Chain A
Amino acid sequence: SQQGEEDPQALSIQEGENATMNCSYKTSINNLQWYRQNSGRGLVHLILIRSNEREKHSGRLRVTLDTSKKSSSLLITASRAADTASYFCATQETSGSRLTFGEGTQLTVNP
């Protein structure tokens, strides 16, 4: 079963706007990662946040983690058409060694 679930499933915004995607998970985790996938291609790692961290930044990306609510959010600021892609969260559970992916959010940024 999927550990992480992204919300929304699809998001369409205008260039320049901010995009926020959420990820919820069920069990205790060591870390949570966000990945990006352009259509039909391999996933690319964006950012990793560990269970003892609450917020991380990387360029236009901001990730938050709330372990009490078992949720994370990915914010992309000042979006560009090139940000159009699917975004996945992945969690590593404390009870094991697997990394489990959610079903993804499809982001469309309109020029």
Chain B
Amino acid sequence: EAQVTQNPRYLITVTGKKLTVTCSQNMNHEYMSWYRQDPGLGLRQIYYSMNVEVTDKGDVPEGYKVSRKEKRNFPLILESPSPNQTSLYFCASSFWAGGLAGYNEQFFGPGTRLTVL
């Protein structure tokens, strides 16, 4: 079954304790992205990756790191989490056709609800 998986689904942590949220897709997609969703603010992009070893900042990258060492995985790292990073996080992936053809549909993971105390 084609899918994007995220782990963990729920996480409660404390300020300053490093954490990693994993994301994996089994569709051989080039493009992967992380978003955070907060009430009244919609989805905001954190980082995205066009392919292995190619990553770029989105709208709200501060306090986050990513890596893309393999095509299927795109982990999100919070080196020193703070309470303002409490949010619902989504990973997504898509084929990238390039040029004006652009993206096809994005497939979203089920979300990770993070609480930083």
Contacts and interface: CB of A to CB of B under 8 A. Distances in A.
Interface residues of B, number: 32
B106 A99 contact: yes
A95 to B, nearest CB: 12
Given A42-B90, A97-B96, A92 B102 contact: yes
A2 B42 contact: yes
B109 A42 contact: yes
Contacts of B90: 42-43
Contacts of A94: 100
B43 interface: yes
Contact of A33 (B96, B101, B106): B106
Given A31-B103, A48-B104, A40 B88 contact: yes
A94 B105 CA distance: 17
B109 A51 contact: no
A76 to B, nearest CB: 18
Interface stretch (A11-19, A66-74, A77-85, A100-108): A100-108
Contact of B42 (A40, A99, A101): A101
Nearest to B104: A48
A45 interface: yes
Given A40-B88, A98-B48, A101-B35, A45 B107 contact: yes
Interface of A: 1-2, 30-31, 33, 35, 40-45, 48, 50-51, 88, 90, 92, 94, 97-104
